[in-house]
Amino acid sequence: MQPEVSTYLNSLTGHPQGDTASWKARYEPLIDHIDDRFAQQFEDEQFIAPKISVVVVAWRATDGVEKALWHIGQQRGIERHEMEVILVDNSDVPDGLASLQTSIDHYVDVHIKMKGNMGLSPARNTGMAYARGELVCFLDDDGLIEFDYISVGLGYFDDPNVCAIRSRITYVNHPYFTTLAGHYDRGPMPLEDCLVTEGSMMIRRADYMAVGGFADQLYGHEGIELTFQLKQHSPSSKVLYVPDMVMHHDYIHTWQKFIEKNTRYIKLDAATDKRTPELQTFMDEFFARRFPRSPLPPDQYIARHLLRLLKYVLQWSVRDQD
């Protein structure tokens, strides 16, 4: 990443504000180029905006990204022209996702190449700045959504009080590691929740922009902070966990990732000085809630307890070092 780009990125604090043009101006210095299939058509007054914009942020070319795009392209219950797919290429190599060009040409409508890895929150906010749908869906670049994911999610927004929803998530290849993600599966019934699955959620575009989206410098608990902002903006609004909108995604897939992720969250949980008292109270109340959870088979139940024990040992080690 060029030094001037890094300096500008580090200067971005808080949340983007204003209209679409203001958001685009904020993130324009971070963008290398944009390939937008609908740019000219959108200027036509007869152009019909899509119902939903799907934003995927990818930072490296993998089979997972290709599979994720394929699953998006196979959605049932919605016409292709009713959905636009925005791929934010957050890679830090010059050719970016070039090896995936065939899939990009086939499934992606707006390809935004950033000037390096700008972090998830700025990249997601950039995708939102160029989204045209009334609703926006954020998806992980290695998350495999079921083929009715979009149509099921759209149905929940028939309730005008629903401003955002998050999905249920199940494992792909690593059931044992994924047992640590207690927030992935809240059971069989919809309920009020926070946007703790930032890479598997839908939100009304107007509400997202009204509260400034994800905080640019926040990496970890950004979905809870976004939920707090939404509730501050409109206390009667609903943020729901919906069990019938399903993504398949592994929470952790290697022991190295186990160490990295848990170390990062231990340090993040200790960084309370950067939160307002109101946000800290909101987070404390959220983490104190007891949510329902689907029962685990015996082997996964045992694995979860053993992994939790290892997690506690890691916590003690990290805290002793600090």
Work out the average pLDDT over 186-201.
97
Quote the pLDDT of residue 27. 97
- 147 to each of 62, 73, 83, 108, 302, how far by Cα in Å? 21, 9, 14, 17, 32
- Measured CA to CA, the distance from residue 286 to residue 196 in angstroms comes to 11
Count of domains for the chain: 1
Quote the pLDDT of residue 34. 95
- Measured CA to CA, the distance from residue 305 to residue 309 in angstroms comes to 6
Structure tokens at 192: 């009020």
Pairing of strands 135-139, 52-58: parallel
User: Residue 96 belongs to what domain range?
Assistant: 3-321
Quote the pLDDT of residue 2. 85
Q: What is the CATH number of the domain that holds 108?
A: 3.90.550.10
* Percent of the chain residues past pLDDT 70, beyond the cut: 93
Work out the average pLDDT over 273-284.
85
First-to-final CA distance of the chain: 30
Confidence of residue 321 (pLDDT cuts 50, 70, 90): low
For the segment 11-37, what is each residue's pLDDT rounded down to a tens digit? 998 899 999 999 999 999 999 999 998
For the segment 125-159, what is each residue's pLDDT rounded down to a tens digit? 999 999 999 999 999 999 999 999 999 999 999 99
